[in-house]
Amino acid sequence: MKSAKKIILGCAGLAVLAAAGFFASTYRSEIAPLQTIPVQEFTAQQIAQGKMLVTMGDCAVCHTAKGGAENAGGFPMPSPFGTIYSTNITPDPETGIGHWSYEAFERAMRHGIDREGRHLYPAFPYTAFTRVVDEDMRSIYAYLMSQAPVKSEAAKTDLGFPFNIRQGVALWNWLNLTPGPVAPVANQTPEWNRGAYIAEGLGHCSACHSPRDSFAGEKKGIFHLAGGSAEGWDAPALTSATASPLAWTSDDLLSYFRTGYSERHGVAAGPMAPVAHGLAQLSDADLRALTTYIMSYKDEKAAPGDAHAFVQQANDTLRVPADAEGLRMFQGACMSCHSADTKQGLLAATTFGSRPQMALNTNMHAASPNNAVLAVLEGIQTPAHPELGTMPSFRYTLSDAQVATMLNTMRTQYGLPEWQNLQAAVAKLRADTDPAKTQH
């Protein structure tokens, strides 16, 4: 008995020592503050390139608070552990990164460690940014450091115990971070490799589009890009596991990236809207490369499907009574925009344009009602591009029961099973997105 106890105690002691050793080995020291920013070393070309790369990396999307100065931080990111606020990445010495040398900046981007040696939370997608090659990293630094400094103290992240112990992130990094650029894959084309560099690096697509494990790490392998979540929205699978009724083609993807809209699938709304807005500014060659890479996760031989025939069939096959309550609600609240063909009064309207065709919209076909409900409750106030138009919020005009009845009638009309417990799901999403609660 006694010796067994000793062995257990001994093992526990060793485990504690090993843990202490592990954390000690992850200790990083402060990098000396920079006294003056070496602007004279930055070339105009570097700064221009950096601007494009910063767009590719959506830096301003996360580092700009609502109504705040660009990149001055304070944008809240809800996480299961509490709210994490982005930091000021303008070159202000006191409140921003004005004291950061290139070495400090690079360490943050590749290892998630700030200038003073503290671990940053992985809400900052450094697991993806770590892949940025040196030349691009220097351009990003040159661009950020040559912008106007903004003195603005961003809201402080204050997570509860144990998540307030930043050193704990070291363990997460050990599981999830492979630092440094990745060599091109030899048996793939340069275009595919360029696409991989954009998607897996600055584009950080998998941060939203891959599912996460119970420690909030991205699942890899067959789960890569197989569907994740972002700010309460579902980020659909980019693989063949897509819920989209028509297979995606290269042209569909190019159009979606270029315009924020594919007439055969739908719009880039929710957290995808600012991403699509940024993607539209990339060169044709880069968007083509991104398309080639994403297509390699799909079944490229899948028949693209005839959109008109699909919609026609949805129109011709009346699966719900013409006077169904959900149908009448759709006609009253939605048809003015989502159909040009009011005389038929069917759910599956035949308009193409910036009004997404409901019968083809990925979100109507998804296993989860999340995005469709959010679009109806919140509306779409900031589309990826102004030309796409906005959609009003129905938060105050439709009840939970009305939203549920309407969406499930549409599902039935498209030959899909009803979403289960939909009314409760609408009620929950309504509470989660209550403007009074999320005001910041």
Q: What residues have CB less than 8 Å from 439, skipping those under 6 apart?
A: none
Would you say 180 or 392 has its CB closer to ligand HEC?
A: 392
Q: Which two tokens stand for residue 228?
A: 């994740």
Q: Is 324 in the site for ligand HEC (CB under 6 A)?
A: no
CB 216 within 8 A of CB 122: yes
The torsion of the CA quartet 81, 61, 264, 201, rounded to 10 degrees, works out to -80
SS3 assignment, position 261 = strand
Would you say 229 or 315 has its CB closer to ligand HEC?
A: 229
Number of residues that bind ligand HEC (CB under 6 A): 74
> Shortest gap between Cβ of 54 and ligand HEC (angstroms)?
6
Which of 312, 75, 291, 297 minimizes the C-alpha distance to 191?
291
Q: Is 143 in the site for ligand HEC (CB under 6 A)?
A: no
Piece of 22-30, 198-206, 298-306, 430-438 that binds ligand HEC (CB under 6 A): 198-206
According to CB under 6 A, which one of 83, 354, 412, 423 is a site residue for ligand HEC?
354
Distance CA 430, CA 423 (A): 10
According to CB under 6 A, which one of 42, 121, 197, 414 is a site residue for ligand HEC?
121
Q: Is 72 in the site for ligand HEC (CB under 6 A)?
A: no
Would you say 349 or 372 has its CB closer to ligand HEC?
A: 372
Q: Is 372 in the site for ligand HEC (CB under 6 A)?
A: yes
> Shortest gap between Cβ of 11 and ligand HEC (angstroms)?
34
> Shortest gap between Cβ of 394 and ligand HEC (angstroms)?
5
Q: What residues have CB less than 8 Å from 154, skipping those under 6 apart?
A: 65, 72, 73, 74, 85, 86, 87, 88, 95
Would you say 23 or 102 has its CB closer to ligand HEC?
A: 102
Using CB under 6 A as the binding rule, the residues of this chain from 407 to 436 that contact ligand HEC are none
344: DSSP letter = T
Q: Is 155 in the site for ligand HEC (CB under 6 A)?
A: no
Using CB under 6 A as the binding rule, the residues of this chain from 210 to 249 that contact ligand HEC are 230, 233, 235-236, 238, 242, 244
> Shortest gap between Cβ of 183 and ligand HEC (angstroms)?
21
Distance CA 271, CA 91 (A): 27
> Shortest gap between Cβ of 272 and ligand HEC (angstroms)?
3
Would you say 13 or 38 has its CB closer to ligand HEC?
A: 38
Using CB under 6 A as the binding rule, the residues of this chain from 261 to 320 that contact ligand HEC are 265-272, 275, 290, 294
Q: Is 107 in the site for ligand HEC (CB under 6 A)?
A: no
Q: Which amino acid is at 324?
A: A
Which of 255, 253, 136, 269 minimizes the C-alpha distance to 202?
136
For the CA atoms of the chain, what is the radius of gyration? 24
Distance CA 236, CA 363 (A): 8
Would you say 45 or 381 has its CB closer to ligand HEC?
A: 381
Q: What residues have CB less than 8 Å from 21, skipping those under 6 apart?
A: none
> Shortest gap between Cβ of 423 and ligand HEC (angstroms)?
15
Q: Is 201 in the site for ligand HEC (CB under 6 A)?
A: no
Q: Is 171 in the site for ligand HEC (CB under 6 A)?
A: no
According to CB under 6 A, which one of 355, 359, 405, 429 is a site residue for ligand HEC?
355
> Shortest gap between Cβ of 12 and ligand HEC (angstroms)?
31
Q: Is 123 in the site for ligand HEC (CB under 6 A)?
A: yes
Distance CA 159, CA 84 (A): 8
Which of 429, 419, 423 minimizes the C-alpha distance to 399?
423
Provide the CB-side half-sphere exposure for 383 (13 A, CA).
17
Distance CA 183, CA 256 (A): 28
Q: Is 114 in the site for ligand HEC (CB under 6 A)?
A: yes
Distance CA 147, CA 140 (A): 11
> Shortest gap between Cβ of 319 and ligand HEC (angstroms)?
17
Using CB under 6 A as the binding rule, the residues of this chain from 385 to 404 that contact ligand HEC are 388-389, 391-392, 394
Provide the CB-side half-sphere exposure for 17 (13 A, CA).
6
Q: Is 149 in the site for ligand HEC (CB under 6 A)?
A: no
Q: Which two tokens stand for residue 85?
A: 């606020």
According to CB under 6 A, which one of 376, 404, 422, 426 is a site residue for ligand HEC?
376
